[in-house]
């Protein structure tokens, strides 16, 4: 088990509930003898705090653990920045669903205390790298923990594109776009578009068409090590976008290509020992519990 001494705190800005939870967490960690390091954006919420302050990038280099207070979106942003440093990340839920941030605020001290005492499980989640190119020029790149999405942007028109997997032509399609999701992202936008739920341990990627113009177009699950290439048709009259985790956006033009592959570095996500993926699905997605005895 990792020994945690220097603990970084990241929080979603603009939420009073997040600030209150961060204050409780900071006080608990300091009273327990840990060194607390605040992300620079969070430090502005605590005037006179007297704690070390650093950027998110530097936090990855000097912390033993980073705790994210917020929703799944907050953890997505932290994951993209921190995965390359192999630093474990723990999430406290102050958002909506909480598939990734699974520690409830009302159990904050107890649950975080258990993790700091070594009572936790570790999950490794892979991310995707997306590269947008125009000929030989690279227009933009980003990581994604949940998904890489090709979509029309502000336009309401369809996109025509070709899809290749490991260099093999799969199909040409006319639709509102394509969602390329990891198992982590299979319970997010991909699920809303009709994609399957994939267990986080799977080494696979799902390709989910968005409102395709052919009834036979269905989600396809491919090996997680596949290299995907999407070529936007020159016949398109719109300029679509590529969005990574819904937070990073890259503008495209007809003729551009998008290459997507697994990122070499993985996220180390910590959970309490009683973490159960299926229990989370039951809770968050409203699945039925066991049948009662007749």
The tokens describing 118, both together, are: 């070594």
Q: State the DSSP string of 90-105.
A: EEEE-SSS-SS--B-G
The answer to whether 155 is annotated as binding is: no
The answer to whether 64 is annotated as binding is: no
Contact 7, 63 (CB under 8 A): yes
The answer to whether 157 is annotated as binding is: yes
The answer to whether 147 is annotated as binding is: yes
The answer to whether 44 is annotated as binding is: no
Catalytic: 129? no
Give the single-character DSSP code of 145. Answer: S
Q: State the DSSP string of 186-210.
A: GGTHHHHTTPPP--TT--EEEEEEE
Question: Which listed residue (31, 40, 64, 72) is catalytic?
Answer: 72
The answer to whether 190 is annotated as binding is: yes
Q: In terms of Cα–Cα distance, which of 246, 196, 277, 241 is closest to 71?
A: 246
The answer to whether 174 is annotated as binding is: yes
The answer to whether 278 is annotated as binding is: no
The answer to whether 191 is annotated as binding is: yes
Q: Could you tell me which residues come within 8 angstroms of residue 149 by beta carbon, excluding any fewer than 6 positions away? A: 177, 178, 179, 180, 189, 210, 242, 243, 244, 246
The answer to whether 101 is annotated as binding is: no
Give the number of other CB atoms < 10 A from CB of residue 203. 12
The answer to whether 94 is annotated as binding is: no
What does the alpha-carbon distance between residue 128 and residue 86 come to, in Å, rounded to a whole number?
16
The answer to whether 223 is annotated as binding is: no
- Active site (catalytic) residues: 72
Binding positions are 72-73, 146-147, 157, 174, 176, 187-192, 247
- Which residue positions form the known binding site for NAD(+)? 72-73, 146-147, 157, 174, 176, 187-192, 247
């Amino acid at each position: 088990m990792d020994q945690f001494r220097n603990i970084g705190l990241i929080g979603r800005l603009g939420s009073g509930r997040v600030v209150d939870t961060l204050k409780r967490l900071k006080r608990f960690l300091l009273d327990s003898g840990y060194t607390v390091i605040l992300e620079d954006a969070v430090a502005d919420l605590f005037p006179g705090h007297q704690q070390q302050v650093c950027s998110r990038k530097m936090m990855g280099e000097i912390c033993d653990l980073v705790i994210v207070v917020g929703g799944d979106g907050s953890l997505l942003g932290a994951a993209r920045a921190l995965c390359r440093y192999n630093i474990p990340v723990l999430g406290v839920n102050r958002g909506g669903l909480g598939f990734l941030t699974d520690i409830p605020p009302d159990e904050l001290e107890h649950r975080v205390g258990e993790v700091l005492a070594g009572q936790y499980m570790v999950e490794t989640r892979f991310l995707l790298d997306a590269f947008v190119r125009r000929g030989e020029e690279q227009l933009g790149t980003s990581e994604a923990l949940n998904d890489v999405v090709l979509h029309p942007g502000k336009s309401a028109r369809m996109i025509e594109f070709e899809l290749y997997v490991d260099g093999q032509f799969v199909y040409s399609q006319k639709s509102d776009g394509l969602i390329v999701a990891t198992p982590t992202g299979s319970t997010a936008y991909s699920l809303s578009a009709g994609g399957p739920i994939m267990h986080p341990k799977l080494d696979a990627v799902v390709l989910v068409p968005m409102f395709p113009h052919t009834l036979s177009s269905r989600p396809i699950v491919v090996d997680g090590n596949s290299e995907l290439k999407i070529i936007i048709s020159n016949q398109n009259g719109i300029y679509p976008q590529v969005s990574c985790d819904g937070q990073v956006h890259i503008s495209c033009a007809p003729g551009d290509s998008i290459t997507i592959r697994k990122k070499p570095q993985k996220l180390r996500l910590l959970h309490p020992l009683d973490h159960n993926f299926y229990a989370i699905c039951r809770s968050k997605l409203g699945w039925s519990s066991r049948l009662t005895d007749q």
